[in-house]
Chains A and B, each alone.
Chain A
Amino acid sequence: MTDFRGPLPLDDRDFAKVRRQVMSKLQRRPIAPIVFRFAAAAVAVIALVVVILLPRPEPPRRAPVRVHKAVPSVAQTLLSAPPGQARVPAPHKQQRKPEQLVATAGPPPDSEITMNIQTADPNVRIIWIAQR
């Protein structure tokens, strides 16, 4: 059973060739890791220098916060009106809570007006967006 594949098909020349190949690879081997180590170290140092010396971008400054005055409520408007004037409530205006009127850096939220006009044709609606 030990010879089930027949004799070893390699001769002395084959063995010598394998030995030569192994030795040549072993002699080449130590150079490569040293080169790679130096390269890796150089890359790490360069990366560190770049990280340290490069000016960091300053965080964007926020615009000063503008606080809008709260819009007087309908009740306040009616009470403050002169006695002779008809106490007709002002056209309905969407009531806003005072905290909603506190603007951030952007434009005030009510700078646009949107009007929805329903025409006679139920399939046609006009949406009008205008700047205040």
Chain B
Amino acid sequence: MVRRHDAMTAAPAMMDESESLLASIRAVRLGDSRAFEMIMLATERRIATLAWHILGDAEEVKEALQETFLRVFRHLHRYDEKRDFFGWLYRIAVNVCRDLDSRRRRRRFFLPIEHAAAATTREVDFVMKDDVARLMRAIDNLPQKERFAIILRDIEELPTEEVASILGSTPATVRVQISSARAKIRKWMEGGR
């Protein structure tokens, strides 16, 4: 299996893409903010897909995308060209998604009790439709760290070391989190919860 992440540096077409991306990054650093549009065009789908996998809400994905690009622009001078740009970008996107996710959970916590009950009923009905929905529900119910680890490793198919770097953790911790997450998902899928 060729990982998307590895494929970027392997294929010649991707090399061109990464070179043009680097040229855009340098142009933005020199003050050409229009070149930032090229960076957005080259990366937006990947970031949006990651945000979609984490957040699962179209409006929040747009919000995450916008905030990620604003942060990228603000901190682009800190980016080390020797390192993988997408790894750096993913780290920012994951942090943005984490903030949005925490905000959403807080909002849900403070939801009036009758609204919360109605929302839960609707969600349960939806979950019971098929296995994919059940899987989605299982992933959404994982603790945030485990959820992010499994999304980056099993869904985004990033290497464990990369996942650890993005999450600011160690590969060993990520392996433990993924193992725990898989066990919980299996239990959920078997109808244990």
A117 CA / B71 CA spacing, docked (Å): 84
Chain B nearest Cβ from A9, distance in angstroms: 4
For the complex, count residues of B whose C-beta is within 8 A of A: 27
Q: Is B21's CB within 8 Å of the partner chain A? A: no
Q: Is B62's CB within 8 Å of the partner chain A? A: yes
Residue pair B136, A26 in contact (C-beta under 8 Å)? no
The answer to whether residues A1 and B154 also contact, given A8-B52, A15-B44, A19-B44 and a CB cut-off of 8 A, is yes
Please give, as numbers and ranges, the residues of chain A lying within 8 Å of B66 by CB-CB distance. Answer: 18, 21-22, 25
Residue pair A5, B36 in contact (C-beta under 8 Å)? no
Q: Which residues of chain A in 20-38 are interfacial with respect to chain B, using CB atoms and an 8 Å cutoff?
A: 21-23, 25-27
Residue pair A27, B33 in contact (C-beta under 8 Å)? yes
Q: Which residues of chain B in 31-90 are interfacial with respect to chain A, using CB atoms and an 8 Å cutoff?
A: 33, 36-37, 40-41, 44-45, 48-49, 52-53, 56, 58, 61-62, 65-66, 69-70, 73
Interface positions of A (Cβ within 8 A of B): 1-6, 8-10, 14-15, 17-19, 21-23, 25-27
3 nearest A-B residue pairs (beta carbon):
A9-B58, A22-B69, A18-B65
Interface positions of B (Cβ within 8 A of A): 33, 36-37, 40-41, 44-45, 48-49, 52-53, 56, 58, 61-62, 65-66, 69-70, 73, 132, 135-136, 139, 154-155, 157
